[in-house]
Chain A
Amino acid sequence: MAGEERNIKLKIDNVKKIYNSRNGEMIALNGVNLDIAENEFICVVGPSGCGKSTLLNIIAGLLEPTSGAVYCDGKKVEGTGTERGVVFQQYALFPWMTVKKNVMFGLKLQGIKGKEAEEKAMKYIKMVQLEDFLDHYPKELSGGMKQRVAIARAYAVNPSVLLMDEPFGALDAQTRTQLQSELLETWEKEQKTCFFITHDVDEAIILAQKVIIMSARPGRIKEIVNIDIPYPRTQETKMSPEFLELKNHIWGQVYQEYLEVRK
C-alpha cells in the first residue's frame, strides 16, 4: 500500500455500510476494496440495490461508512470536499438560479467574486455549449441541457475527482450518446479521476478504462474488467469485435446478479 509508485487517487478500504430500517439491518456494502489511479475513468455497473449509489455517496462524503474508510490523496474522507465533485441523476440544479448563476454557485462559495467568477463560469458553459442559454432558468431547459449545466457546475470548482451517479440515466438514447462523447472529450481535455455509475453496459464500456461489476445485496466488487480499447472512442467502437466481446462478458456477469436479486 504505502510506498507504492502508482499514483493512487482514491483508495476504498474495506468499506462496509449497514442501514438500519424498520425491517432490521440491511447490509448495503460489505467489504469493498478498490484503488483508483489518478485520472482514471472507472464505470460501476450492477443490479439495482447493489449499493453503487451508496458507495458513491460515501466517496463524496455525503454518507459515512459503518466501518472502513475512503482515502483521497492519502487523506481520510470526512465529509464533503470541493476536490470531489458530484453530478446527480436528477440534475439537482437550483431552479431559482439561471444557468450562469448555477455554474457560478460553487465559485462564489470559494470566495471567487465578480469578473473572475464570471469568466470561469463562462469557460465551462462554453465547454458544454450553452452560451446561448446563460440567463435561462432550469425549467426552460431540456433534460440533456440541464445535465450539461450540472456537469459545467461540477467542473467549475475544478475538482480532481468527478463522481457521477447515473448522470445520463434519465435521458433519451440519442442525447445520451451525445453527452457520452462530450464527456469523453472534456475528460481528455481536462483530466480528472472519474467514478461513473451506470445501468447501461454499452455506456460503461465506451467510457471507462475499467468497469467494476458489483454483486447484488450485500454489495461487493465481483469483478474488475479492464477496457483496453484506445481513446478516442466513437460510436463505431460499439461495432468492433473487442467491444462486443467485452459487452457479452460484462452483460453475462451483470445478468447473473439480476437473477440473484430475483431469487
Chain B
Amino acid sequence: MKEKNKGSKIPGKVWLLISFLVAMVLWYLLSLNPRTARSFPNIIVTIQSMKTMIDRGVFWGDIQSSLISVSVGFVLGFVLSLPTAILMAWYRPVRNIIEPWIQFVRNIPPLAYVPLVVISAGVGRKPQIIVITIATFLIMTITIYQGVINIDETLIKAARVLGATDKDIFLQVIAPATLPFIMTAVRLGASVALTTLIAAESTGASAGLGMRIRSLNNSFESEPMLLYIIIIGIIGITVEKVIKILERKLTGWQEKREI
C-alpha cells in the first residue's frame, strides 16, 4: 500500500514533464548506440530536419494534405455510420444482413484493399478519402450500434409511462442516452483515421505525411522520417485531447465510464 502512494504529492503536470524527460534521455541513448542510431537520429538533427523539409517546400503541404484527407474521410465515415448504426439497432433484418460484414471487413488491414480502391477510383485525393471513410465508418458504426442496443430499457419504460410518444422517446431518451457512445465512436474514429493514413496515402498520393514517410524511406533519410512520425503522433494526441474535453462537457452527467 505504501509503495503505491509514493510520489502521490507530485502533481500530474510534473509527472508529464518527468515522463517527457525520461523519453528524451532514452531517445538520446538510442541515438548513441550504433545499432539503433540509424533509426533514432540525434534529437537536434531530427528537429533541424524540419527546416530541410520546409526549404524543400513540402512540409506544410504534407500536413495540409493529410489533414484534409483525414478530416473529410472521418466526417464522411461519421455521417454514414450514424444512420447505419441506428437502423441496425432498430431493424433486425438490417442488423442481420450488415453486421457480419462489418465485423468481417473490420479485421482486414486497410493496406490490403488499397490496390482495389485505386483500380476503381484512380489516384489522388479520392482513393485516400475512400480508404479512410471505410475504416472510420466500420469502427464508428459498431461502437454507436453497441451504444444504442445497450440503452437501459427501463429508461424507455419510464419515459413511456410518463406519456412519451415514440418520437419523444427517440429525441429525448435514445438520442441523449447514445451520446456517450457517439463521443466514444468519434474518438475511436479519429484515431483510426490517423492510423489508416499511411495506407490511404499509399494510393499514389502526391503529398501527405504518410506518403512522405514512404518516399523518405527510399532515400534513407531517417531524420525527417522520424520527425514526420512524431508529427502524426502529435496530431493524434491533440485531436484526442480536444475530443475528451468535448466529451466531458457534453456527457459529464455519466456515471464514470472509460474506454
Contacts and interface: CB of A to CB of B under 8 A. Distances in A.
Contact of B253 (A105, A106, A137, A150): A137
Tell me the interface secondary structure of chain A in the complex: loop
Contacts of B159: 94, 105
A84 interface: yes
B173 A94 contact: yes
A22 B64 CA distance: 57
Nearest to A140: B253
A88 B255 CA distance: 19
B254 interface: yes
Contact of A80 (B155, B161, B177): B161
B163 interface: yes
A105 B161 contact: no
A106 B163 contact: yes
The listed residue with most B CB atoms (<10 A of its CB), out of A60, A61, A62, is A62
B154 A92 contact: yes
A171 B159 CA distance: 23
B255 A139 contact: yes
Nearest to A165: B154
A157 interface: yes
Interface string B231-256: 00000000000000000000111110
B51 interface: no
A7 interface: no
B248 to A, nearest CB: 13
A109 B157 contact: no
A60 B252 CA distance: 32
A150 B155 CA distance: 11
A96 B253 contact: yes
A110 interface: yes
B157 A82 contact: no
Contacts of B162: 82, 85, 105-106, 109, 153-154, 157
B173 to A, nearest CB: 7
Contacts of A94: 155, 158-159, 173, 176
A88 B154 contact: yes
A96 B176 contact: yes
B133 to A, nearest CB: 30
A90 interface: yes
A62 B155 CA distance: 13
A132 B92 CA distance: 45
B177 A62 contact: no
Given A80-B160, A80-B161, A109-B162, A96 B152 contact: no
Interface of A: 60-62, 80-82, 84-86, 88, 90, 92-97, 105-106, 109-110, 137-139, 150, 153-154, 157
The 9 A-B residue pairs with the shortest CB-CB distance in the complex, in nearest-first order: A106-B162, A92-B158, A92-B154, A109-B163, A86-B161, A82-B163, A137-B253, A96-B176, A96-B253
7 contacts: A81-B163, A92-B155, A94-B173, A96-B179, A109-B168, A139-B255, A153-B162
